[in-house]
Amino acid sequence: MKQKWYQTTIAKGILIIAEHAFLLIMVCCFMCLMSYPVLRSEMFSGTHAEKYEDTKTFADQVLHTGQGISSALGRREVFETDGAYDPEKIINVGNYNQGESTDAENPGSLSYRLGDLVSWGKTAGSGSEEQDSYEDNIVVCRRADGTYHYYYYSEFQELIQNGDLSFVMASDESGMTQEDILLSLKERTFSTEGTETFKGVQDKDNRILYVDCWNYDGYWCKEEYKTVEGKSILEVANEDEAWNGHLSDAFDTVESAVLSIYWEVDQYRSILESYQEGDTNFTYLYVDQTAKQIISNREEYQMGEDLETTLNKIRESGKYAIIYPRLADFETNMKNVNAEEWRSTLQVQGNDDAYVFALSVDTSYPVQDSFYTESQLYEEYGGRAVWVFAAGGAALLLFVLGLVILTAGAGYNRRDEELHLMAFDHWKTEISACLIFLAWFVPVILVGTNISVSSVVSYDEYGNMIQTGGSQIGPYISTGNMIMIGLLALYTCALFLTGYLSLVRRIKAKILWKNSLIRSLGHFLKTIFRNMHIVWKRILIFAVIVLFHWMAFFSYGNIFFFGLMVLAEILVFIYLIRDAIGKHKIQKGIEQIAGGQVDYKIDIAGLSEEQKDIAENINSIGEGLDRALEKSIKSERLKTDLITNVSHDIKTPL
């Protein structure tokens, strides 16, 4: 017999160890690429630049930063006065939500100071209360002409108690007092539907002001600030015909504007503050040629010198992009730039026709900002990307090759050419798969959730640095985390090879399906149908048990109880079926032996221990009867022979 080297125990052991090493290398390479986004981006884009400023990531960072700047510049008209943030600026919330500006001479009834809206938004953003938890509520009163007047309950209660207002009842026999109605309004349960006793609300001169009243059930929110005229939203709705009857819309309009303005002001201020001169290598210049306005984070560029001279300085400062309304005028010295995308993305709201928007990064990096940090990282680790990727790819190929060789040698050894299975291979297929998966999944989830891998820096959608890895310059993977990732990789490889090679041996031995739970279940169901005339009573009993169990579950609803219940049902069902079949086998054996077939043997395969004992005893009875019968026949034969011999002896002398 010619020995195949990959079937030897030594070769298999070496290959299994090598597979673990290859997977560990792959995981380490993958984590390096994932922990440093620039490497990943460059490798997946199929390019490799010598310097960070020539990478696609650099261009994207400039673009995202420019997006933040353009968004902030578009908000200047709304939030600034004379080029400075103005908390006293008046905002008409209705116009704001529709993207329109506020008329300074006629701001509108729902107008607030910008600073009040921002403070209100901060309170609302921290978590607003539910309406039902407010101490106050709103009472709606309807006039005869169909218009409405709104009161906060505390205000309405005071007017009733002071006698300025009172409820009009059809008669004193109704049994409902002023206090009863106020209490119902406070508890939000008052209703005039279906009653003829309530006639309205009158003033102290007994004039009917309102023909009906009820608790307001629309949307509303707690007011933190008054309008610029010092009015509440209810007062605005009472006085302004546009909002009368639309109180819910008024509250919704105000709250939407509050939340939106708070977020936009925060973004607008943080972006412009993040890119002040001296804090960044990034420069922006926006020139509104219609309004003759220059906006930049560089003081020298705001001095009003010749535009072309300023642009030349920007061109000489490092990497730049200059955006004009016409796409043909777009210019940049950066790589990986889509001019059309940049022009459409970097539009400043409100000016589409006459502008110049220039962005640049001083690539000498005099300021240690996010651009500097990424440049240092790329200089240190960027050149390793190709080698890391190559090492990971080579490890992957070798891992696959080793897997192929292990597949060919699985189940064979040097002693013979027979296929040898391990004890684990005889376990039910589905049970083996589930055990392998659970043995991997549970530890990985428990340990993996405590592992954190991130870049030293990450940026928000505007290019602002939002996370740092401290003073460390390099992809942030702590030693402890790297060790845990490596151990998980080795553990995963061990379980994978255990399950995979067992699967291969099962396929080679043709027992994958034969040893399957699904196949066993199929045979079991087939046995049930064949013996339905025997087991139908037990199936009926089982159905009743299941019905009552489900009734118990839906009345209780505990998932753990449900799991135990289902398991118990399955076990009871299997027991009932096997018990019925076993009893039938015993009954048939008894009938055969009683009918004279004393050599009949009951098949004990598949019987329970108790039934097996009974069957063996019955088989023993049959054997005893057979021996007794044989002994009796032999005795009768001896008697016959004796009589014959005696008779012969008597006749002989005669």
CB 115 within 8 A of CB 271: no
The per-residue pLDDT for 359 is 94
Determine which helix (DSSP H) or strand (DSSP E) holds 111, and give its type and residue range.
strand 111-113
Domain-wise residue ranges, the chain:
5-48+374-509, 52-82+275-362, 519-654
Cα three-residue angle 255-256-259, rounded to 5 degrees: 85
User: 10 Å Cβ neighbour count for 49?
Assistant: 17
Q: Mean pLDDT across the chain, nearest whole number?
A: 81
d(CA 430, CA 38): 43
Most confident of 8-12, 362-366, 513-517, 617-621: 362-366
Q: Retrieve residue 324's tokens.
A: 């004009």
Query: Per mean pLDDT, which of 218-232, 470-484, 567-581, 585-599 is the most reliable?
Result: 218-232
Q: Cα-flanking dihedrals φ and ψ of residue 226, to 5°?
A: -90, 165
Type of residue numbered 341: E
Q: What is the pLDDT of residues 137-176, one digit of tens each?
A: 899 999 999 999 999 999 999 999 999 999 988 766 656 7
| Radius of gyration of the chain from its Cα atoms, rounded to whole angstroms | 45
pLDDT value at 288 more than 80: yes
Query: 382 or 475, which is more confident?
Result: 382
Is residue 332 over pLDDT 90? Answer: yes
Residue type, 31: M
499-508, 547-556, 594-603, range with the lowest pLDDT: 547-556
* pLDDT higher than threshold 50 for residue 473: no
Confidence (pLDDT) at 158: 92
Task: Of 22-36, 299-313, 354-368, 572-586, give the range with the top mean pLDDT.
Answer: 354-368
Task: Give mean pLDDT, residues 447-469.
Answer: 51
pLDDT at position 239 is 93
Residue 472 pLDDT > 60: no
Strand (E) or helix (H) holding 393? helix 385-409
pLDDT of residue 38: 64
Q: Judge whether 506 and 429 are in contact, CB under 8 Å.
A: yes
Structure tokens at 17: 């160890």
- Within 8 A by CB and 6+ apart from 2, the residues are none
The pairing of strands 165-169 and 198-203 is antiparallel
Please classify residue 308 by burial: count the beta carbons closer than 10 Å to its beta carbon, then call 0-12 exposed, 13-18 middle and 19+ buried: exposed
Q: 512-554 pLDDT, tens per residue? A: 888 888 888 888 888 888 888 777 777 777 777 777 677 666 6
pLDDT of residue 613: 77
Q: Of the ranges 96-105, 396-405, 631-640, which one carries the lowest mean pLDDT score? A: 631-640
pLDDT of residue 475: 46
Q: Which residue from 84, 69, 68, 81 is spatially nearest to 297, judged by alpha carbons?
A: 69
Contacts of 609 (CB under 8 A, 6+ apart): none
pLDDT given for residue 562 in this prediction: 66
298 or 130: whose pLDDT is higher?
Answer: 298
pLDDT for 471 equals 36
Please identify which residue in the block is written with the tokens 């535009």.
307
Average pLDDT score over residue span 58-66: 89
pTM of the model: 0.58
Strand pairing partners for 58?
Answer: none
Cβ–Cβ under 8 Å, residues 386 and 112: no
CA distance 77 to 85: 10
Question: What pLDDT is stored for residue 412 in this prediction?
Answer: 82
Question: What is the mean pLDDT of the segment spanning 578-602?
Answer: 76
Tell me if residue 169 falls in helix, strand or coil.
strand
Kindly report the backbone phi and psi dihedral angles of residue 487, in degrees, each rounded to the nearest multiple of 5, phi listed first. Answer: -65, -40
Q: Yes or no: say if 296 and 285 are a contact pair by the CB < 8 Å rule.
A: yes
SS3 564: helix
Is residue 462 scored above 50 in pLDDT? Answer: no
DSSP 476: B
Choice between 225 and 414, residue whose per-residue pLDDT is larger: 225
Q: Tell me the CA distances in angstroms from 512 to 433, 438, 516, 520, 594, one per residue in order.
A: 11, 20, 6, 12, 44
Instruction: Determine the residue type at 83.
Output: G
Instruction: Transcribe 177-224 into DSSP letters.
Output: -HHHHHHHHHTT----TT-SSEEEEEETT--EEESEEEE--S------
Q: Is 357 exposed, middle or buried (0-12, 13-18, 19+ CB in 10 A)?
A: buried
The CA distance from 427 to 605, in Å, is: 20
**Per-residue pLDDT tens digits for 185-217:** 888 888 777 677 788 999 999 999 999 999 998
Whether 34 shows a pLDDT value over 90: the answer reads no
Cα separation values, 595 from 391, 583, 598, Å: 81, 18, 8
pLDDT digits (tens, 9 = 90+) for 234-262: 999 999 999 999 999 999 999 999 999 99
What is the distance of C-alpha 620 from the center of its chain? 66
